[in-house]
Amino acid sequence: MARPVVPERVYRYLLEKLAAGQWQPGDAVPPLRAMAHELNISHWPVYKMMRHAVGEGLLEHRPRRRARVAPEAPERARLLLASMESTAGGTRLAILVPQEPAGLTFPVGNPVHANLVQAVGAASVSCGSTSHVVCLDDLDPMRQAGEIVRRYDAAFAVGLGPRNLVLMTHLAQSRLPLLTYQTRIPGLEIPTLYTDSYSAGRRLAELLVQHDHTNVCMIASIRCESIMDERYLGSKGWLDGLREFGICDQCVMPIALDRGANHDLLIQKILRLSPRPTALVFEEPHILARLLRAPWFRSMRDLALATLGAMDRTLETDGVPPITSFDVDWTRAGQCAVEVLCRMTSGTMHQKCIRISMRLNLTDSLGCCSVSTSA
């Protein structure tokens, strides 16, 4: 459906309160000022909504007193909501992504994010909706949040960082249906879709122990862990796995944080450790892919390698053996995201988080035969 005008959106807010029984017959509704504050809008749209609700028989107006809920209001509100949904068309979905450097042909530089954005866009089209990629404005988040609320029915946020907290808080307070990818924001009840990187990290630790590795290292990226649930982190699953299988204390450096400035220098420092790790696991597959194109790194024949993400298959044409990695069914992930947002736009705002499993591609990079199994 087209983005509702503000009075219609405010009217839906009132219907949801009545239909859910939050406002019972005979109750005085909150003051106009309080409702306007909760919806983060001016008083005028709320005033128009109140007048319309009185005309519909949902509220009873008394001069110089707060309006009260009419006796049949809850049932009538449910019927009105059902009628609105039956005549609604597809939603307008905003896919929120970080600002990217100029020159990129696709507005998402991270390959994982690109796959997910494409999948969500395809899923929205298949259910009759439309989607638009919106690059987040770090300079004026309040202005942009207002534009998103006016133009779209729902939003899916990818690649959030601390700089986006103001915008996300404003969107949540505006009651816009929201879903995030791999991010939980304290204080905001926003559902998230996440890949099960924790289980993938733990699984790699288990496999390396089974192949007699006792001194291993994960190269983890510095993320916005202050706004992420640690249950989603591959590095957390990795460390828990090393402890569970009894080799954490034997690792010279069980985990190294990559700040993104110079990958080569970090890896060279790790490989000069004594004793040198016998296996490296990369949280970000694109870092490993770039290193594999470097002659000095490819010469390390006795080093076991793996990654928590999907590897670039074009590397195999360059003579690089297949690397143990994980794949995600991005098509299904996109469908799940759109399904949740559709339920939210239909009035069921409280949704559970969605866990997307990862499929393990086990290869000779860990010294065993190639098989494919679930993480």
Strand-pairing partners, residue 188, are none
Closest CA to 150 of 189, 92, 80, 97: 92
Instruction: Give whole-number Cα distances, 221 to 120, 123, 185, 260, 360, in Å.
Output: 25, 30, 19, 8, 21
pLDDT (tens digit, 9 = 90+) per residue, 48-91?
A: 888 888 888 899 987 778 889 999 888 888 888 776 655 455 67
Whole-angstrom distance, CA of residue 257 vs CA of residue 339: 36
**Stretch among 125-134, 228-237, 324-333, 347-356 having the lowest mean pLDDT:** 228-237
State which amino acid sits at residue 63. Answer: P
Give me the mean pLDDT over the 159-167 stretch: 85
Q: What element of type H or E holds 169? A: helix 165-173
* 226 C-beta neighbours (distance < 10 Å), count: 10
Residue 240 has pLDDT above 60, yes or no: yes
Q: 6-86: what fold?
A: Arc Repressor Mutant, subunit A (1.10.10)
Tokens representing residue 159 in the block: 């690649």
Is 110's pLDDT higher than 80? Answer: no
- What's the pLDDT at 85? 59
- The number of helices, as runs of H, and strands, as runs of E, in the chain is 13, 15
- Domain 197-328+359-374 annotated CATH 3.40.50.2300: yes
Q: Which residue has the higher pLDDT, 339 or 108?
A: 339
Mean pLDDT, rounded, of the chain: 82
Asked if the model's pLDDT at residue 281 lies above 80, the reply is yes
Asked if residue 375 has pLDDT above 60, the reply is: no
Contact 42, 36 (CB under 8 A): yes
Q: How far apart (Å, rounded) are the C-alpha atoms in residues 36 and 50?
A: 12
Q: How far is CA 94 from CA 148, 180, 208, 230, in A?
A: 7, 12, 41, 27
Phi, then psi, of 259 in degrees rounded to 5: -85, -5
73 half-sphere exposure, CB direction, 13 A CA radius = 28
Question: For residue 321, is the peptide bond before it cis, meaning its omega torsion is within 30 degrees of 0?
Answer: no
182-196, 200-214, 240-254: segment of lowest average pLDDT: 182-196
Taking phi over 0 as left and psi of -120 to 50 as alpha, with beta for the rest, 212 belongs to left
Enumerate the domain spans of the chain: 6-86, 92-195+331-358, 197-328+359-374
- Cα–Cα dist 360/357, whole Å: 10
Q: For residues 26 and 66, what is the distance between their CA atoms, to the nearest angstrom?
A: 11
Secondary structure (DSSP) of 45-61: HHHHHHHHHHHTTSEEE
What homologous superfamily does CATH list for 92-195+331-358?
Response regulator (3.40.50.2300)
Residue 350 has which token pair?
């409280």
Equal fold, 6-86 vs 197-328+359-374: no
pLDDT for 199: 93
Indicate the residue type of 8.
Answer: E
Tokens of 255: 């985990």
Higher pLDDT, 55 or 314: 55
Q: Which of 72-86, 132-146, 270-284 has the lowest mean pLDDT?
A: 72-86
